[in-house]
Chains A and B, each alone.
Chain A
Amino acid sequence: MGLTGLQKDSKRASDVPLREIVAHLAENRAQLREEWVRRITDAQLLTAMTKDELFAEATSVYDSYVDALETRTLESLQAYAQNLSERIIPRGVETHEVVGIVLLLRDVLARSLFTKYHDTPALLDRVLDAYEPAANSIAITVAVGFVRERERVIRQQQESIRELSTPVLQVRERLLIQPIIGVIDPHRARQLTEQLLRGIRDTRARVVVIDITGVAAMDANVANHLVLTVEAARLLGASVIVTGLSPEIAQTLVNIGVDLGKMRTVGDLQGGIEEAERLLGYKVVPVAEPQA
């Protein structure tokens, strides 16, 4: 991918402005870089980094930036942006910070060019004609690189959530527990149901406790799915007790108009197991005084 703005410009006139810009930026590297870091610190961006890290990172970005202007290609900058994103995303750096620092650098450099060509408006025009489109594509490249990396991380995390096993555990003869933790999307909901129904058939369970303490919220679709699961389990001859409903989930279930006559719910897992034992005719009694 080339810098379209630059190529257009070089066809139209000459490479002189761009070469001049690069020379200027290389010459004033130390000063401009410091100015930039100061602006970043003032704007309170990249606060997750220490001062030294920030300075080192700023130096690499600055050099890549000048390099992209000089070679008029974005490949190495793209690679650098991806590498940078990989390193800073786990540290909680936000999109606005990354875009912010690149725009700050653009600003710092533009101001410096203004100052330098202040007295020769004609040359300034050509310099800015060359600089602006190039700076824009660099900013876009870095931002896109960051967002793409972020999306990749999100996809990966969704994948791992999907792969999280959701065990169906037998706690007593004919009593199963299915603890559900984390986000439930439609795909995972389906998987949970399949595992539960298979578990009922394989262990000949009569009562199932589905514990959703670890689920903060669910949308109407997933809530509906939960209701269907309860119904399907009944068709297999098992009663379902749902425990640990958060206020948000309770709200969702009320909003979709769930028939409470069909769904048995108990506050917490302990209560659910006690209720299940009652249904199955178990009675748990202590055999001795607990040791103090």
Chain B
Amino acid sequence: MEVPILKQGPYLIAIIQSALADADIVHLRDALVEKVGRHRSLGVIIDVTALDVMDSFATGTLRDMAHMVRLRGAETVIVGIQPDVAFAMVHMGLKMEGVATALDLEEGLAYLDQRTRAVRHR
């Protein structure tokens, strides 16, 4: 299942609706990294609220994507990780080092607004 990527002002928002196959995640990564450049986006939000499992492949791919997006000049924030998922992840040692996380979409937007304030008001 392909994940739709929405453009919202200077940000790209991808809301994952259901469990994804590995190929879909890779596809999402490639599409987002490409679009960040095309739309000159400042931030990317991945909403994983609907996921009740985050395995090592998904976590690793999202982390790589965040780093790639950073290299292309934008910030990434992962939002909506559920309490049980979060605890299972840290138990498996999947800690998303260096990737910003926020409670939900609203918080993620607030985080990006704050991070990109300097750039937006230039």
- A204 touches which one: B82, B91, B96, B107 (CB < 8 A)? B107
Select the residue from A232, A233, A234, A238 with max chain B CB neighbours within 10 A. Answer: A232
Query: Top 9 nearest A-B pairs by Cβ distance?
Result: A197-B83, A237-B102, A232-B86, A235-B86, A237-B103, A231-B90, A228-B90, A235-B81, A232-B90
A18 CB–B CB distance under 8 Å: no
Are A231 and B95 interface neighbours, CB within 8 A? yes
**A residues contacting the other copy or chain, number (CB 8 A):** 18
Instruction: Using A237-B101, A237-B102 as known contacts, say yes or no to A197 and B107 having CB atoms under 8 A apart.
Output: no
Are A236 and B103 interface neighbours, CB within 8 A? yes
Interface residues of B (CB under 8 A from A): 78-79, 81-87, 89-91, 95-96, 101-104, 107-108, 111
Q: How many interface contacts (CB-CB < 8 Å) are there between A and B? A: 54
Chain B contacts of A233 at CB under 8 A?
86
Are B87 and A232 interface neighbours, CB within 8 A? yes
Instruction: Using A201-B103, A204-B103 as known contacts, say yes or no to A236 and B90 having CB atoms under 8 A apart.
Output: no
Chain B contacts of A109 at CB under 8 A?
none
Interface residues of A in 205-251 (CB under 8 A from B): 206, 228-229, 231-238
- A235 touches which one: B89, B107, B111 (CB < 8 A)? B89
Interface residues of A (CB under 8 A from B): 193-194, 197-198, 200-201, 204, 206, 228-229, 231-238
Q: How far is the CB of B105 from chain A (nearest CB, A)?
A: 11
A236 to B78, CA, bound (A): 9
In chain B, what residue has the closest Cβ to A202?
Answer: B83
Chain A contacts of B102 at CB under 8 A?
237
Are A238 and B87 interface neighbours, CB within 8 A? no
Chain A contacts of B91 at CB under 8 A?
228
Task: List 23 A–B pairs whose Cβ atoms lie within 8 Å, in order of A's numbering.
Answer: A194-B87, A197-B86, A198-B83, A200-B103, A201-B82, A201-B103, A204-B103, A204-B104, A204-B107, A206-B107, A228-B87, A231-B90, A231-B95, A232-B83, A232-B86, A232-B90, A235-B78, A235-B85, A235-B101, A236-B83, A237-B101, A237-B102, A237-B111
